[in-house]
Amino acid sequence: MSLEIRSLRKDDRAAWAGLWAQYIAFYEHPPLAGDVVETTFARLIDPQCSSQNGAVACAGDEVVGLAHFIYHPHNWRMEEMCYLQDLFTAPHARGQGVARALITHVAQQAHDKGAGAPYWLTQESNSTARHLYDQVATLTPFVKYQM
Amino acid sequence: MQTVNIGPLKAQHRDQWLGLWAQLTAFYGSELAKGIYDQSFARLTDKDQRQTGAFLALNEHEAVGMVHFVAYPHNWKPEPVCYLQDLFIVPSHRRQGLAQALIEKVAQHAQAMSWAPPHWMTNDDNVPARALYDRIATLTPYVKYQL
């Protein structure tokens, strides 16, 4: 499979929304309201909105994966941090390096921007994803609390 | 506890804040370059930016606790989320409800700013902190990876 990773753009809207809905469902989260999806997509493709960014993986004409990443200030560093917030590969395109390529792309984007290397969160029980993450990144001792 | 006041971090608190901050970073085995302290302090006390901020707990003129927070965009919701990044209480003032009071202060601020409620990360072996967090927040199933 020849894979191209590039920034999310306006004409990806339909394909992106399909993957995004599957991703949200994976987290057993109710579907996001239409206006939330619209707002997020608009921010992800808006070059003026530099803190919220999207990338897609394309196999030929088909969009088979997405990554969303956010830049935010960090009190321990001069540079901004890059938070890889969402990562999804279409089920039929798994096991072919799509997620790894997306992570590499986000890392390159962060590097080019002068931001810190990406971090991300994943469910402790997501063994499929963690199999990859354990190869490409470092598991930190941090757990997350939510108020 | 009765004599402790919690308020926004201000420019005149620089020395007190530095003392706490150095203790916090030392707890995590880190020492930051001076430029990072300068930049973080300037940003945390800059009234013209609302993305990051801090509260300081003062016992008379002695700084006894502090908390830093940062808001950043989230793809799942239109409003920013509030990330409580740093929380520290001097050893002499622990177990008096100060950490809880600082967290609640951030939660109130987040609500006033229409941000999603605070989340934070902690070392999974930080037993004393987690005893509090388990009471006032929800442990999520998320673990953190860093590239």
pLDDT tens-place string over residues B81-133 = 999 999 999 999 999 999 999 999 999 999 999 999 999 999 999 999 999 99
Spell out which residues of chain A touch residue B39, defining contact as CB-CB under 8 Å: 78
- pLDDT of the residue at B3: 84
| CA A79 – CA A71 distance, rounded (Å) | 10
Does A73 sit within 8 Å of B142, measured CB to CB? Answer: no
- pLDDT of the residue at B32: 87
In the structure, what pLDDT confidence band is assigned to residue A121 with cuts at 50, 70 and 90? very high
| CA A16 – CA A3 distance, rounded (Å) | 16
Query: What does pLDDT average to over chain A?
Result: 96
- pLDDT of the residue at B64: 97
Residue B34 has pLDDT above 90, yes or no: no
Does B125 sit within 8 Å of A75, measured CB to CB? Answer: no
- Distance between A3 CA and the closest CA of chain B, angstroms: 22
pLDDT tens-place string over residues A34-87 = 999 999 999 999 999 999 999 999 999 999 999 999 999 999 999 999 999 999
Does A39 sit within 8 Å of B78, measured CB to CB? Answer: yes
Q: Which of 42-71 (B) contact A at CB < 8 A? A: 43-44, 51-52, 68, 70
Q: Is the pTM of this model over 0.90?
A: yes
B122 interfaces chain A, CB cutoff of 8 Å: yes
Give SS3 for B8: strand
Sign of CA dihedral A102, A52, B74, B117: positive
pLDDT tens-place string over residues B36-81 = 999 999 999 998 999 999 999 999 989 999 999 999 999 999 999 9
Does A145 sit within 8 Å of B78, measured CB to CB? Answer: no
Q: Give the amino acid at B13.
A: H
- pLDDT of the residue at B33: 87
Cβ atoms < 10 Å from Cβ of A57: 27
| CA B102 – CA B118 distance, rounded (Å) | 12
| CA A83 – CA A106 distance, rounded (Å) | 9
What DSSP string runs through B53-113?
EEEEEEETTEEEEEEEEEEEEETTEEEEEEEEEEEEE-GGGTTSSHHHHHHHHHHHHHHHT
- pLDDT of the residue at B29: 84
User: Is the separation of the CB atoms in A108 and A100 below 8 Å?
Assistant: no
Residue B1 has pLDDT above 80, yes or no: no
Residue A1 has pLDDT above 90, yes or no: no
Residue B2 has pLDDT above 80, yes or no: no
